[in-house]
Amino acid sequence: MLMGTSVLSLRIDHDLLERLRHHAAKRGMSVQDYVVRTLIRDDFDQRFQAAVEETERFYGAPDSPGAPDSGDEDQVRPSAGIR
């Protein structure tokens, strides 16, 4: 599958651009690559969180009324560390 590209132009504060340059340089990346990877990661995090919430709605969150009690207090919830 071929993916096309588009151009996005932003007007950002000078201080923010300098911070982005600094973060990108620490990782050996261009500012463009750093921003794109950050957006991709944020998009993944949002989709993952939505999937976790949907799973909890389907199975019932362990602390919600009426949720089945597994009796296993050591079990880790899917959303552990996400919030």
Closest CA to 49 of 2, 10, 83: 83
Any idea where the domains of the chain sit in the sequence? 33-58
Q: What is the pLDDT of residues 11-49, one digit of tens each?
A: 999 999 999 999 999 999 999 999 999 989 888 888 889
Dihedral angle computed from the Cα positions of residues 39, 80, 48 and 69, in that order, rounded to the nearest 10 degrees: -160
Q: Which pLDDT score, from 0 to 100, does residue 78 have?
A: 57
